[in-house]
Chain A
Amino acid sequence: MEIRDKILVVEDEKSISNFICTILDANDYKYITAANGKKAYAIISSHCPDLIILDLGLPDIDGMEIIKMVRSWTTTPIIVVSARSREKDKVEALDLGADDYITKPFGTSELLARIRTAIRHTRTSILSKEIAQSGKYCVDGLVIDYDKYRVYIDGVDSNLTQHEFKLVALLGKFAGKVLTYDFIIRELWGSTQKTDNQILRVNMANIRRKIEKNPAQPRYIFTEVGVGYRMIEGD
């Protein structure tokens, strides 16, 4: 028998949790629901779900608190559901350790794609934390060669500087996941300067001019306005 991933849906709006569960059921996932934070917390500690879909606006506990509590003892992937135009919430949730976010209103395929990415990432990162940093990442004509510190587009070296390579490599390592500006800056520069992401963005603009045909219609690295960047995920 195939082992089905168990997903916890934390959502207080019954109609929304209903349709999420219908989607999950139709796509061979097991699901549990929790309508408030306390119940969610109890289920997380007793059932150990493989993934948590978390609405930030719960009646009893702030969603951010739940992320903090869960992250203090487990790496179970968390996908945050939030309304658009609240990009600060998204950034905060991601920085607290949420794995991804999805914006209401969302479609079936978008939700399923996020779930697959999040589950795969925790699996690979547990098995091979180091392997991702060597070898190659290939997607759609783009090759990141971690051993040679080079990025190739359709076989042609794109002449990235060392810094630019580090940025692309980082995004490649977490392909499919949004990385916030703060996270990238901390990883690359080790600096805690919170507000200034201009250098990062200028770097990104330069990279796009080297690896994308049209920097305004990127194929590989996408901007999530107000949040950060996301590298396209390979198959």
Chain B
Amino acid sequence: MWELIKANQRRSVMLFVVMGIILIGLGFVFGMVFDHKHTGGGAITGIIIALLVWFILSLVAVTSGSAIMLSASNAKEVTQDVHPQLFNVVDEMRIAAGMSKMPKVYIINTDAPNAFATGMSPDNAAVAVTAGLLARLNRDELQGVMAHEMSHVINRDVKFMTIAGVMLGSIVIISEIFLRSMIFGGGSGGSRSKDGGGQAQAIIMVIALVFAILAPILAQLLYFSISRKREYLADASAVRLTRYPEGLASALEKISNSNIDMPMANKVTAPMYICNPMKKKGMKMSDLSSTHPPISERIRILRAMAGGAGLANYQSAYSQVKGNASKIIPGGELKKAEDIGIRMGIAFEVKDNKTTARSSNDIMMKVDNYAFINCDCGMKLKVPANYSSNEIMCPRCGTRHEV
């Protein structure tokens, strides 16, 4: 595991360097455009402004990124009694991964099945799942999803995505500011450059415009390609933790079968979820600009895993399904040829749509502090938290219950 994290860090540094160069280049070129006297001071100012934007965004993301993500998705922190099984499963994965602290657990009140994890380090991690996910998945499937999410934290993917996301954000913001200033203030700059007699100025202007358009696209492609790789890696790590590829595979299948959109997800938070929460019709998930690999492919790789649950087994299943030799797992980790068996699955009852909908509703009510009272006649009373009287009557048999 440690080698995996180290290899990840090496890869990340490469990406950060490239993105940093793009960022500084942007600052430089834009500064040049506004530097009418050609003193070179403009370029430096441009670089300083670019770095300043990046610094401020980083500060916000590192100190409160997790809190922003959780509140943007309407996640509520819950206690063990709301969903004991969820807590048990998270604890199991914590133990399997050798994490010292239990992550905080959040539930999002929506019927769309999805989940995400946040936290720059394993010590301040949090996992969030939707009520719809809890209602649809059985124990083994839930375990697979939680293992995937916690792998993101352990592999430091959350940290990486935050830092890379901030760099991407800075590049987008600076390009946007430049393009807008060209539209609104372009006239004055243009007229003055004529007096300065600069064909050079015009050339710089064209270069800057091309840069402003291309840089964000380039940065995004870079960001997305690494983001997809990390999804595969998190799948591989999850199977290594649970020793049960079918759990995650059938969970992904159930998640992809649902076509409910998450209203609380947006373009910024989408890469954090286990599956893309915004399923636009007609959009191909396999295109270059998607943050997640196509689900069907992830499922096929998981189901192709034979002979073991180790990282090397995932790699060979990946090569087999994709038909190419690109590496998901860093080399050092592959050489360690671990002999890890796949465990047995447990048989679960299949839930029909009605039961699923009902249990999804129940979970949402529990999150909202509803009291549940079982009447002797078999009726289940669900009392909202703001119910004022301290007694309630069963509508079927008329028994009075204390609230």
Are A and B genuine complex partners?
no
Residues of B within 8 A of A (CB): none
